[in-house]
Amino acid sequence: MKSVLRIILLFFVSISTFAQGICDNATPDGFVFDGPSAVCIGEKVKVKDNNSGATDIKYIFGYSGQAASKLPTIPAETGPNAEWPFLVDGNYIILQYGKKNGGDFYSCKVVTVRKNTKPVASIESCNNSSVSVAIPADSRNNFDYYTINWGDGTPLERVTQLPYNRAKNLSTPRTVTVNGVFNTASSCPANTGQYLPYLTPGTVPGGYESPNHINVSELVLKTADEAVLTINGGYEAGGYDLFMTEQGTPYSFTPFKTNVFPGEMSIAIPDTNKSYCFYLSKGGGCGAKSAEICTTVLNEVNPLSITTQEILWENYPTEMSNIILDGGTSITYGRFMNRTMTLLKEEDDILLPEIPVSSSPYTDNVDCKKKYCYRIKTETEGKIFYWKFKGISISKPICLERKDYHPEAITDALVTVTDANTSEIIFTDNSPWTIPREKYILYHDNGTEFKEIKTNPTVAPITDTNVDNSLKSNCYKIAFLDQCGSTSMLSDAFCTVLLSEQAKNELLWTGQTPFADTGISNFEIQSYDENTGTIATVTSPPLSSTQFNYSPDLSGFEEEAKFRIRIIAPDGSESFSNVYTIPLAVKILLPDAFTPNNDAINDNLEVKGTFRRIVNFDFQIYNRWGNPVFTSNDPLKTWDGNFQGTGAPVDTYTYKIFAKLIDGTEVNKTGKFLLMR
C-alpha cells in the first residue's frame, strides 16, 4: 500500500491583529497582487507597484500594526516588486511604504494563506473485483468540489454534493485518488490517495493493513458504567451498525446502535460487574465487519499486608466470539486474536511503568502509606478475514488509599459496670484483618454520635470513668487503627444495663445488650448480704431475656436491700449492671413497761429496731411533771430505771425519740411506758 498526496486545499484563518493607524489612512491600491491573493502554505505571494509614484519602496509581509517610527526595525523586502512564501496558514497584511512628494507613503492589502489539507474520504477494495469510494458530509470537507481518479484511464469524476458513496467494478491492484478543490486556489496539493493491492489469502498471514477497514481501536471504561469507544475506518453515508452483547452470549441480529461514524462515542454499561463486547458492521460500499473488542472489568483492589495488595479482574477472552458472519459464507482464511495484558499503576498520582500480567489475581508490592490507582490494559491484535487489526481495552480505575479502607470490625467485646462511675470494656481482637495494629479505639455514644474517647495500644480492658451508670445506660463501640492507617469498621454497639426501681420495691432494667456480637440469653438477680457483702443469686432459674422487671422479697433485709443484674450471653459471657439499693423504713420500738428490780429479767429499758441508717439520734424520758430523767444520743444505750443515783419511783413515764437518717429523712416518735418494780 502507498499513498499519493496532491495538496490543493486552501484553509482560511482570521488575522490575529489588524493594523491600526498606518493602514487606516493608507493610499488604496498603491500595489497589486501579481498572481492570486489566496495562496497555499509555502507558495509565494507576489506583489508589484501599481504606478504609485513612490520611491524607496519596501514591503513588510505580515505587518501587525507597529508605529511608523518602528518600521525601519522590521524586516522588509525591497520594491518596487517583491514576493514572499508564508509557512503558516492565516490572513496576513502586506504593507507597502516609501516616500512621495516629500512625505511618507503607505498602502495595505490582505493575503490569505490556506492549509494544505487533504479531503476526508475512504477508498476500499471489495474482494479484488470492485472499488468503493466514500466522501462524507464532514465539517472538514469544505472544498468547492472534488475529483476522483479511479485509476482506470477514464476522465476524472467531479463530485459537488456530499455525502458521496459509490462502488465501481474495478479489479485490483490499482491506485485511486480523491482531490478536494477550491475555486480560488487550485494549486494547493490536497488529495486522499489509496493503493489497493490484490488481496491474496495466505500471502500476508498477519492480515493486510488498511486505514479504511473499520475497527474499534480503543475501548476505555471512564467509569464503571461509561465506556468510550474510538472508532477508525472508512466513511459510509449511512454510518456503521454497532453490535453489543454480554461477554459469552450470542449477538443479536438487531444492532445496538445505527448511524455510527468514525470518532469517539460513549456507551452506557448496563451491569458494571460484567464484561460487554462490541463489533461494527458496514452494509454499504464493500460491506465489512470489524474485530470484536470487549470491556476489561477490574473488580477489586484489596490490601493483603503492609507491603502488598491484591488486584482482581475478569480475564479478557482469549478468542473472538461468534460474531455474525455474512449469511452462510465459509471463509477459510478466517480470523484469530492474540492478547496481552498490563497493569497500569499510579503511586500518589504519578504514573509508573506498566507491569505485564498474565491472569487475575495479581499481587503488587506497595508502600501502604501511599495512594495507588490501578487499571488493566488489554491489547489485542490479529486478523479478521483479510484485515489486520489492533485494539486496546482499558478498565475503569480503582484507587486505594489505606486510610479510606475499613477492615472488618472486632465483634468480641462487652461492657460491664464495676461501680457507679466506671464502665469496663473487655474485648479480644477477632477481626480477620492480618495487618498489625497501631492502637485500639473506644467510642462512646454522647447522644448524637459515637465519639472517640480512649485508645489502647494493646488488647487489654479499657475503663471509662467519666460516666454515671446509675443514671443511664452507656453505649460503646470499638475499632482499631492498623499500621497502614486503616481504621476498621466500628463494632456493633454494646451498652451497660441500667438497674432502677419502677414502682415501690419493684426492680426495672434496660434491655440493650452489653455484648457486641450477640444478644442476651437470660438475666439473674443478685443481692448483697447487709453484714458480709456476700453476693447471692435470688432468681432460680434465671429470668428470660425478655423480662425486664422483678419484685424481690425484702423480708430478709433490715435497713436496705442491694441488687444487681447478671447478664448472660449465649456463650456464657457475663456482664453486670449497676448496683441499685432499695432503702427500707427505719424501725424504732420501745416496750410499754419494764421492771428494774435486779432479777435479771427486763431490768433495762431498751430501744429496739434497725439503726444502721441513723446518723443523728436523741432519746429523752420524762417523769409525770415533765422533768427529764434520762437522755441519750446512742440508740444502743439502755435506761436502768435510776435517776440521780436512786431508783426512780413506780409510775408512768413519757419519751421522745428523734432520728435523722443518712438520706436526710427525719423520724420522730413519742409514747408512754410503765416503770414497775
Q: Are residues 238 and 384 in the same domain?
A: yes
Based on the fold, state whether residues 241 and 324 are members of the same structural domain.
yes
Which residue segment(s) compose the domain that 163 sits in?
125-179+188-196
Q: What is the mean pLDDT of residues 502-508?
A: 87
- pLDDT confidence bin for 330, thresholds 50/70/90: very low
- Average pLDDT estimate for 444-473: 96
pLDDT of residue 5: 29
Residue 1 is assigned to a structural domain of this protein:
no
Task: Tell me: do 339 and 220 sit in the same domain.
Answer: yes
Q: Model confidence at 198, in pLDDT bands (50, 70, 90)?
A: low
Say if residue 392 is exposed, middle or buried (CB neighbours under 10 Å; 0-12, 13-18, 19+): middle
Do 36 and 170 lie in one domain? The reply is no
Question: Over 60: is that where the pLDDT of 487 sits?
Answer: yes
**Residue-averaged pLDDT of the chain:** 88
Is position 202 within any domain? no
Q: Per-residue confidence at 333, pLDDT binned at 50, 70, 90? A: very low
Q: Determine the Cα angle at 668 with ends 665 and 671, to 5°.
A: 160
Q: Please check whether residues 265 and 175 belong to one and the same domain.
A: no
CATH of the domain at 594: 2.60.40
Any domain includes 228: yes
Q: Is residue 531 part of a domain?
A: yes
Please write the tens of the pLDDT for every residue from 638-652: 999 999 999 999 999
The one-letter amino acid at 46: K
Co-location of 92 and 74 in the same domain: yes
Q: For position 224, what pLDDT does the model report?
A: 86
Long-range pairs of 69-78 with CB within 8 A, sequence gap ≥ 24: 71/95, 71/97
* Dihedral pair phi/psi, residue 70, rounded to 5°: -90, -10
**The three three-digit cell numbers of residue 404, written as one number:** 479510606
Residue 8 is assigned to a structural domain of this protein: no
Is residue 567 located within the same domain as residue 418? yes
Say how far apart CA 424 and CA 261 lie, in whole Å. Answer: 70
pLDDT band for position 10 (cuts 50, 70, 90) = very low
Domain boundary among 402, 434, 453: 402
Q: Is 209 inside a domain boundary?
A: no
Do 467 and 387 lie in one domain? The reply is no
Q: H or E stretch including 55?
A: strand 55-63
Q: Is the pLDDT of residue 295 over 70?
A: yes
pLDDT at 214: 86
Same domain, 390 and 457: no
pLDDT for 335 equals 53
If you average pLDDT over residues 305-330, what whole number do you get? 74
Confidence of residue 203 (pLDDT cuts 50, 70, 90): low
pLDDT digits (tens, 9 = 90+) for 434-448: 999 999 999 999 999
Number of domains in the chain: 5
Are 78 and 165 contained in the same domain? Answer: no
pLDDT given for residue 185 in this prediction? 56
- Quick check: 66 pLDDT over 60? yes
Q: Choose the final residue of a domain: 60, 83, 114.
A: 114
CATH number at residue 54: 2.60.40.10
**pLDDT-derived band of residue 18, with 50, 70 and 90 as boundaries?**
very low
Q: What is the pLDDT of residues 553-604, one digit of tens each?
A: 998 888 889 999 999 999 999 999 999 999 887 889 999 999 999 998 999 9
Pick the last residue of a domain from 584, 606, 627. Answer: 584
Q: What share of the chain is helix, strand, coil (3-state, %, to 5)?
A: 0, 50, 50
Q: How confident is the model at residue 477 (pLDDT cuts 50, 70, 90)?
A: very high
User: Of 296, 433, 299, 305, whose CA–CA distance to 364 is shortest?
Assistant: 305
d(CA 203, CA 195): 17
Residue 13 lies in a domain: no
> Domain check: are 422 and 558 in the same one?
yes
421 and 569 together in one domain: yes
- Give domain status of residue 3, yes or no: no
Q: Please report the DSSP string for 416-482 in residue order.
A: EEEETTEEEEEE-------SPEEEEEEEEE-SSSEEEEEEESSS--EEE-S--TTTS--EEEEEEEE
- The pLDDT tens digits for 101-145 are 999 999 999 998 887 777 888 888 877 788 888 888 887 787 889
What is the value of pTM for the model shown? 0.61
